[in-house]
Amino acid sequence: MGYSVPTPIQAQAIPVVLQGEDVMGAAQTGTGKTAGFALPILQRLMAHANTSVSPARHPVRALMLAPTRELADQIYVNVRDYAKYTPIRVAVVFGGVDIKPQLASLRQGCEILIATPGRLLDHIEQKSVTLGQVQALVLDEADRMLDMGFLPDIHRIIRLLPSARQNLMFSATFSPDIRKLAESFLQHPKLIEVARRNALADNVEQTVYRLGSDEQKRFAVSHLLKERSLSQVIVFTNTKIGASRLARDLAREGLSADAIHGDKSQQDRLTTLEGFKQGKVAVLVATDVAARGLDIAELPAVINYDLPYSPEDYVHRIGRTGRAGASGVALSLMTQSDERYLSEIEKLTKRKFAVQDLAIPTVKERPESIAGSQASSIRVPRQRSYADAPTRKLPGYSTDPFFFQPYQASAITPNPTTTMIASPSAPESAAKPAVSGMRKPPRQLAALLGGKGLKHGG
């Protein structure tokens, strides 16, 4: 596995876990805590290892819970590699994917099961997994589980486990809720801390920039990426729709950017993450939930497009860079409405940040490629002119020229009464009634079945 010297969390946790004691560990992402609890658990389970093909000989003996599918999958990959040359079987279950392959894996039996709480309860209801022989329970990133509302699920799962077991809980922050959870199931735990609680790494350069409005944030991200020549950067947003929009806008400016958040399918998220690891995607725009469990060995910088609502999330975000002693950069964008979030972060971390004003170049001052792409992305309403529009031709129906003649007043004065107009030389019987201006003259009616036409009144 390439290990030569244990990390501080590994050096402190492994002996305690081997002794079977409960552990409450304060460790951030990238400190090597997965090996700190997985390796001693594997060592203890070797007493039950067997090569039998029967699933009944491979019951779940260690349960490891993670808040997100990405983190669960990453733990699974590590534990699987640790157990590669042992008879111990390892499986993982999480939501967002088809449950059928997971059912097939569980039917084969597994000593170590890594799971997210929601999907694990689905399998318990389907009776595809039993937890009656669990000897060790691990809660990784417990603070994130509480933030995501998994506390009822955790309590429900714990009630299904044997009372005699070992409990390990790891968290990057120690809030009152975390302490309350620890008191509910940990038995005289050993407290292991590799750094001051809620502390920020000293090897990470942290800068906060003040902007005039939220509309300037996107230009600020593009400006910082190009000015500092940053690549392999995670940009954090508070909303899923904000992540998608920012990734789209950055891509329009010629940057290789993509988004990862909870609304994307598991396959899309894995594809995006793999492209980011391979360098095909230079800027990964992510929400806090989607970024949990991302295992990226070398991440030079993170940018807080939005300051997090929870100050604990700031600690998690910054922990993505500067791992394993490497230097890192953490840049945060802030408007006037974000000042309260910065105050909460300073209170939690007991650190005062120097806020700098960031001058954003105008469209004319930006490079031609950026300004041009930005101008092309702005929608300007089309100005329609109908003066030169071609005349629409009507269908060639036959027309009556009478309807195209100008209006002429009638020479006959309308008279509501009918008078008799008779010629002086004509007999009285030949006189015809005068036609009023509002009445049509009588016409002959054609016979229905032939014959002579009839006159009105005839």
**Residue 293 confidence (pLDDT):** 59
Neighbouring residues of 111: CB distance < 8 A, sequence distance ≥ 6: 45, 48, 49, 58, 59, 60, 61, 62, 88, 89, 90
Mean residue pLDDT across the chain: 81
Determine the average pLDDT of the residues in 221-230.
Answer: 90
Domains, the chain, in order of start with CATH, read 8-193 (3.40.50.300), 204-377 (3.40.50.300)
For residue 268, name the pLDDT band (cuts at 50, 70, 90). Answer: confident
Q: What is the pLDDT of residues 122-150, one digit of tens each?
A: 999 999 999 999 999 999 989 888 878 89
**pLDDT beyond 60 at 116:** yes
For residue 279, name the pLDDT band (cuts at 50, 70, 90). Answer: confident
Give the Cα separation of 213 and 281 in Å (integer). Answer: 28
**Residue 265 confidence (pLDDT):** 79
**Residue 356 confidence (pLDDT):** 92
Contact 297, 304 (CB under 8 A): no
Residue whose entry in the numeric block shows the structure tokens 């009944």: 56
Identify the residue with better confidence: 269 or 414.
269
Determine the average pLDDT of the residues in 311-325.
Answer: 79
Percentage of the chain beyond pLDDT 90 is 47
Give the Cα separation of 153 and 141 in Å (integer). Answer: 15
**pLDDT beyond 80 at 335:** yes
Listed range (94-98, 259-263, 281-285, 395-399) with the worst mean pLDDT = 395-399
Residue 296's region, left for phi above 0, alpha for psi from -120 to 50, else beta, is beta
**Residue 450 confidence (pLDDT):** 57
**Residue 380 confidence (pLDDT):** 44
**pLDDT beyond 90 at 449:** no
- H or E segment and range at residue 191: strand 190-193
For residue 358, name the pLDDT band (cuts at 50, 70, 90). Answer: confident
Percentage of the chain beyond pLDDT 70 is 73
Measure CA 455 to chain center: 84
**Residue 375 confidence (pLDDT):** 40
Residue 185 CA neighbour count, 13 Å, CB half: 24
pTM for the model: 0.62
**Residue 3 confidence (pLDDT):** 75
Residue 41's region, left for phi above 0, alpha for psi from -120 to 50, else beta, is alpha
Determine the average pLDDT of the residues in 75-84.
Answer: 95
**Cα dihedral angle (180, 185, 189, 194), rounded to 10 degrees?**
-60
Determine the average pLDDT of the residues in 195-223.
Answer: 82
Give the Cα separation of 216 and 272 in Å (integer). Answer: 26
Q: What is the pLDDT of residues 376-408, one digit of tens each?
A: 444 444 555 555 555 555 555 555 666 666 666
Determine the average pLDDT of the residues in 190-212.
Answer: 79
Determine the average pLDDT of the residues in 230-258.
Answer: 92
**Residue 415 confidence (pLDDT):** 55
**Residue 171 confidence (pLDDT):** 86
Determine the average pLDDT of the residues in 365-378.
Answer: 43
**pLDDT beyond 80 at 292:** no
Listed range (73-82, 299-308, 361-370, 433-442) with the worst mean pLDDT = 361-370
281: nearest Cα among 299, 257, 316: 257
**pLDDT beyond 80 at 282:** yes
**pLDDT beyond 60 at 342:** yes
Which DSSP category does 5 fall into? Answer: S
Q: What is the pLDDT of residues 19-78, one digit of tens each?
A: 999 999 987 666 788 999 999 999 999 999 999 999 999 999 999 999 988 889 989 999
Listed range (78-92, 208-222, 269-283, 434-448) with the worst mean pLDDT = 434-448
Identify the residue with better confidence: 265 or 76.
76
